[in-house]
Amino acid sequence: MMKWKYGLKSGLGVFLGLTNLIPNLIGAFMLMIFSAYASVDIYKTIDENGRVTYDLIPVEGSLKLNLGPDPGEPAPIPAKLTKKQRERIENAAKEVVKLRQESRQAQAVSVVECKGEKSCKKAFALTQVFISQHSDMKLQIVTDTVIEAYNHIEHGQLALKATKTPRNGDVEKINLIASCKEQYTDNLCLMREIDAYKQFRPYIEASLR
């Protein structure tokens, strides 16, 4: 009887010891997982059917998911790829960089300046028409200074926003902001943004004449 009690007491002690140890083991395990993911790069790939996959190994057209301040950085090229594969990846990365720069430049020259209350009111009304026609999303905000469509939901959708700000005297400035949810590759959305920027100012100026 004494031996059975002693065995039970010892077993209970071991069980309680393991119970107290479990949280520490779980914490160490989770720390190991997060440490591992913090030290590796994860790549996002969207195939021709729009299916998104994530992997630790980059392939042609994949994007590096950077947890730092600059997400979407083109994936580094693995050393084991053939020369032709490396050239294709390099060219694709250069094209993305080129289009991003072109989008910023197109946005800068798309700014519309109007003078006088009547002219600026008409220009902003035309801006609302432009956004309604070119944005894939319906309007959610329409005020005297802000016109904004809902955020995009599906891949490839373009959402537009415009702001009107006063400048010197009775001059006001209208800025267009284009945002596209990427589809297949970054290129499609970047080209849609560029196209919207390039059409905006000519449309407003032609309508004001």
Whether residues 183 and 116 fall in one domain: yes
In this predicted structure, what is the pLDDT of residue 74? 54
Residue 174 counted as domain residue: yes
Least Cα distance to 89 among 75, 72, 71, 73 occurs for: 75
Residue 7 counted as domain residue: yes
φ/ψ (deg, to 5) at 41:
-105, 140
Give the CB-side neighbour count of residue 7, counting CA atoms within 13 A: 4
Whether residues 118 and 182 fall in one domain: yes
Whether residues 105 and 181 fall in one domain: yes
Whether residues 204 and 129 fall in one domain: yes
In this predicted structure, what is the pLDDT of residue 32? 46
Residue 95 counted as domain residue: no
Angle of helix 117-134 relative to helix 186-208, nearest 10 degrees?
Answer: 150
Whether residues 110 and 183 fall in one domain: yes
In this predicted structure, what is the pLDDT of residue 181? 79
In this predicted structure, what is the pLDDT of residue 77? 54
In this predicted structure, what is the pLDDT of residue 141? 96
The encoded tokens of residue 91 equal: 């060219």
Residue 81 counted as domain residue: no
In this predicted structure, what is the pLDDT of residue 173? 97
In this predicted structure, what is the pLDDT of residue 204? 96
Q: Of the residues 58, 75, 92, which one is the last residue of a structural domain?
A: 75
The total domain count for the chain is 2
Whether residues 111 and 59 fall in one domain: no
Residue 86 counted as domain residue: no
What sections of 56-116 are H helices per DSSP? 83-109
Whether residues 40 and 116 fall in one domain: no
Whether residues 113 and 189 fall in one domain: yes
Whether the full predicted model's pTM is greater than 0.85, yes or no, is no
Look up the domain containing 198 and give its range: 100-208
Whether residues 67 and 124 fall in one domain: no
In this predicted structure, what is the pLDDT of residue 93? 78
Cα(73)–Cα(96) distance, integer angstroms: 10
Residues ≥6 apart with Cβ < 8 Å to 78? 57, 58
State whether residue 137 is helix, strand or coil. Answer: coil
Give the CB-side neighbour count of residue 137, counting CA atoms within 13 A: 22
Least Cα distance to 130 among 171, 167, 158 occurs for: 158
The encoded tokens of residue 175 equal: 């800025």
Instruction: Tell me how crowded residue 90 is: count the other CB atoms within 10 A of its CB.
Output: 12
Whether residues 204 and 108 fall in one domain: yes
> Is-contact 66 72, C-beta < 8 A?
yes
Cα(106)–Cα(93) distance, integer angstroms: 20
What CATH code is carried by the domain that includes residue 159?
Answer: 3.30.310.80
Whether residues 65 and 162 fall in one domain: no
The DSSP string of 52-77 is: EEEESS--TT-EEE-SSSSTTEEPPP
Whether residues 50 and 120 fall in one domain: no
pLDDT digit of tens for each residue in the chain (209 aa)?
444 444 434 444 444 444 444 444 444 444 444 344 444 566 677 766 566 666 656 666 777 665 444 444 555 555 567 878 778 878 877 888 888 899 999 999 999 999 999 999 999 999 999 999 999 999 999 999 999 999 988 888 999 999 999 999 999 999 999 998 775 455 888 899 999 999 999 999 999 88
Q: Of the residues 42, 75, 108, which one is the last residue of a structural domain?
A: 75
Residue 88 counted as domain residue: no
